[in-house]
């Protein structure tokens, strides 16, 4: 007797079989009764009835075996079909996995070739700039080595380098650049009020031979007059590209602000190379924002503005920092490709009128939004300041409250700390 799963079939099938057997017995008994009526003796009638029951049972068993064979054939066929489809699906899956692996290998290989190419370019530029630095250093006399009058640098540059300590610092800067002791530091820029990490600002630090760090305020004062800022900016650019390529392997939601000095913007030798390099790396346009000081933009001139517009045409957004005056042509700023403007938190809280703003801090964000600009409050140092900034609908915040600049190698740890802080101390507007 076949067994069927489930309590329902476990009861119904035996009952059905019992009814069938009862039917066979009744048919045999009826046949025996008719044989007796026809005059057949009782023993013969009983034997005929028994034979009829056995024959009926054999026929029923044969029917059940035939039905079972057909059912088994159907199940085997279904299993074969399912196995074939599974095998085909498995083959398709393996094929897709192979295609994906090949694509990943190709992408990784291309990425590696691109990084190697960038490092080779960087190495060549370092050699070229080292020669340029050496030539500049040789052309700048020390205070006790005065050349003939006709070979001296300009009076202003000479008097600047005659200042005690300037020549020594220039030599330290020159050595740091020649030996590639330029470190990349990252400071977080977070959304407000969520305090979610959105950007890093890349900052360069020079390292002296004894390991001491030379801050931008120190080296820019000496490097700019002798034309070395393009060297620093060039190294910063390459480091930014490398750190961004490393970041986008995890997420494309985080970008990097890369500072470019006004001297570099005006450098007719370097900036065209800068633009050409970015043309070949415009796939990073959504993750790199180039930042220029307000003073550099004011001195850019027609050629500088043309360079900025070309940079924006490649898809790179621009940002303006070191803002001293808020009497700005925001329409023109947006037309040049600027999408961000950084204003000190102290200015937004207390100094709008002193900075020449035409609107109050409460309306400043609306003015910027009309011209497609995002507002970043920088130098945010306290929670009290944050509460005040929330009244002005500031888009982003930057400052030691959210994280101090750290060496690029510490970037993953810094990001984890920021994300944890966002859960532990969320911003709430005072109610």
What pairs with residue 292 in β-bridges? Answer: 320
- Residues 197, 200, 205: CA angle, nearest 5 degrees: 145
Q: What would the pLDDT profile of 254-288 be if each residue is shown by its tens digit?
A: 999 999 988 888 887 788 888 888 888 889 999 99
Cβ–Cβ < 8 Å for 181, 383: no
Q: What would the pLDDT profile of 33-68 be if each residue is shown by its tens digit?
A: 766 677 767 767 677 767 767 777 777 777 777 777
**192: CB partners within 8 A, 6+ apart:** 377, 386, 389, 390, 394, 395, 396, 397, 427
Residues 318 and 211 in one domain: yes
Cβ–Cβ < 8 Å for 374, 396: yes
Using CA atoms, how far apart are residues 144 and 146, in angstroms rounded to an integer? 6
Most confident of 78-87, 105-114, 131-140, 358-367: 358-367
How many Å separate Cα 386 from the centre of its chain?
A: 27
From 94, 116, 141, the end of a domain falls on 94
Q: What pLDDT, on the 0 to 100 scale, is given for residue 377?
A: 96
Residues 80 and 194 in one domain: no
Tell whether 151 is covered by a domain: no
From 94, 118, 137, the end of a domain falls on 94
Helices within 378-430 (DSSP H only): 383-390, 411-424
Most confident of 117-131, 133-147, 255-269, 288-302: 288-302
Q: What pLDDT, on the 0 to 100 scale, is given for residue 160?
A: 45
Indicate the pLDDT class of residue 83, thresholds 50, 70 and 90: low
Q: Point out the least confidently predicted range of 16-30, 310-324, 378-392, 409-423.
A: 409-423
Q: Point out the least confidently predicted range of 110-114, 222-226, 342-346.
A: 110-114
Cβ–Cβ < 8 Å for 184, 204: yes
Which residue segment(s) compose the domain that 21 sits in?
Answer: 7-94
Mean pLDDT along residues 237-246: 88
Indicate the pLDDT class of residue 192, thresholds 50, 70 and 90: very high
Tell whether 122 is covered by a domain: no
Tell whether 45 is covered by a domain: yes
Residues 56 and 185 in one domain: no
Cβ–Cβ < 8 Å for 232, 182: yes
What CATH number does the domain containing 351 carry?
A: 3.20.20.450
Burial of 424 (0-12, 13-18, 19+ CB in 10 A): exposed
- Residues 22, 27, 31: CA angle, nearest 5 degrees: 145
Domain count, the chain: 2
Residues 87 and 205 in one domain: no
Tell whether 2 is covered by a domain: no
Residues 369 and 232 in one domain: yes
From 62, 79, 94, the end of a domain falls on 94
Residues 86 and 216 in one domain: no
Tokens of 356: 């020449």
Residues 186 and 88 in one domain: no
Residues 335 and 189 in one domain: yes
pLDDT at 157 over 50: no
Tell whether 134 is covered by a domain: no
Q: What pLDDT, on the 0 to 100 scale, is given for residue 109?
A: 59
Whole-model pTM over 0.75 = no
């Amino acid at each position: 007797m076949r067994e069927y799963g489930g309590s329902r079939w476990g009861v119904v099938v035996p009952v059905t079989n019992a009814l069938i057997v009862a039917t066979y017995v009744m048919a045999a008994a009826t046949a025996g009764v008719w044989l007796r009526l026809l005059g057949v003796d009782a023993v013969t009638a009983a034997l005929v009835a028994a034979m009829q029951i056995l024959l009926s049972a054999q026929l029923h068993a044969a029917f059940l075996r035939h039905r079972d064979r057909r059912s088994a054939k159907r199940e085997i066929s279904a299993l074969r079909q399912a196995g074939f489809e599974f095998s085909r699906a498995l083959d398709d899956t393996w094929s897709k996995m192979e295609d994906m692996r090949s694509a990943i290998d190709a992408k990784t290989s291309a990425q590696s070739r691109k990084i190697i190419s960038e490092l080779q370019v960087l190495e060549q530029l370092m050699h070229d700039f080292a020669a340029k630095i050496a030539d500049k250093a040789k052309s700048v006399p020390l205070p006790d080595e005065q050349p003939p009058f006709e070979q001296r640098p300009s009076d202003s540059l000479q008097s600047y380098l005659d200042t005690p300590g300037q020549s020594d610092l220039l030599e330290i800067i020159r050595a740091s650049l020649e030996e590639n002791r330029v470190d990349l530091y990252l400071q977080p820029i977070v959304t407000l009020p969520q305090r979610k990490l959105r950007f890093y600002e890349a900052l360069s630090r020079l390292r002296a031979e004894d390991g001491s760090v030379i801050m931008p305020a120190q080296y820019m004062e000496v490097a700019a007059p002798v034309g070395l800022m393009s060297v620093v900016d060039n190294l910063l650019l390459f480091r930014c590209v490398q750190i961004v390529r490393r970041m986008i392997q995890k997420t494309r939601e985080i970008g990097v602000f890369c500072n470019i000095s006004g001297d570099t913007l005006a450098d007719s030798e370097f900036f065209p190379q800068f633009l050409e390099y970015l043309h070949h790396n415009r796939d990073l346009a959504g993750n790199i924002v180039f930042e220029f000081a307000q003073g550099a933009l004011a001195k850019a001139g027609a050629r500088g503005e043309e360079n900025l517009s070309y940079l924006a045409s490649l898809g790179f957004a621009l940002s303006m920092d070191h803002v001293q005056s808020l009497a700005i042509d925001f329409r023109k700023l947006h037309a040049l490709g600027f999408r961000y403007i950084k204003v000190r938190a102290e200015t937004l809280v207390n100094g709008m009128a002193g900075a020449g703003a035409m609107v109050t801090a409460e309306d400043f964000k609306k003015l910027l939004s009309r011209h497609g600009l995002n507002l970043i409050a920088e130098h945010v140092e306290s929670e009290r300041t944050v509460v005040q900034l929330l009244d002005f609908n500031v888009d982003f915040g930057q400052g030691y409250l959210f994280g101090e600049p750290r060496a690029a190698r510490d970037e993953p740890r810094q990001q984890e700390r920021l994300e944890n802080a966002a859960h532990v101390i969320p911003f709430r507007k005072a109610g």
